[in-house]
Amino acid sequence: MTKHILLIEDEPNIIEAITFILLRKGIKVDAHSNGASALETVKSTNPDAVILDVMLPNRSGFDILQDIREDTDFAEIPVMMLTARGQTKDRERAMELGATAYMTKPFSNSDVIEAITALLEGA
């Protein structure tokens, strides 16, 4: 059974890169690029895990994470924050809000694959 994940990210090139490297490992990727309707997309696609950018148009990744955790259906879904904000307080905030993993941009492709595999196995 192919696993599939939802990538919430507004940079088209990054979407393309992540989709490419995960697809080669047999993981299907849905992409969504607007902060406002992210939760609805999570509900409608029902992914195995979520990769979440922080700086999104209309609604920040932190707020979306909070929305996901407050929804009983997705309180336990693995979420990896993937962000260009590397400050410690950002990482701490993400963890407090219930992120499963935290990775900063730029990333090495193998790190992403490793982290996602871990998330999917943990689930």
109 binds other proteins per the rule CB under 8 A: yes
Residue 108 tokens read as 């090495």
Sheet holding 79-83, edge to edge: 28-32, 4-8, 49-52, 79-83, 101-104
Beta carbon of residue 58, minimum distance to other proteins (angstroms, whole number): 5
Indicate which single residue of 4, 17, 60, 69 sits in contact with other proteins (rule: CB under 8 A).
17
For other proteins, the closer CB: 65 or 77: 65
Encode 82-97: b = buried (16+ Cβ within 10 Å), e = exposed: bbebeeeebbebbeeb
Give the SS3 label for residue 122: helix
91 binds other proteins per the rule CB under 8 A: no
One-letter identity of residue 14: I
Residue 51 tokens read as 């990769």
Indicate which single residue of 44, 45, 46, 87 sits in contact with other proteins (rule: CB under 8 A).
87
Indicate which single residue of 4, 21, 67, 69 sits in contact with other proteins (rule: CB under 8 A).
21
Q: Would you tell me which residues interact with other proteins (CB under 8 A)? A: 10-14, 16-18, 20-21, 55, 57-58, 84-87, 104-110
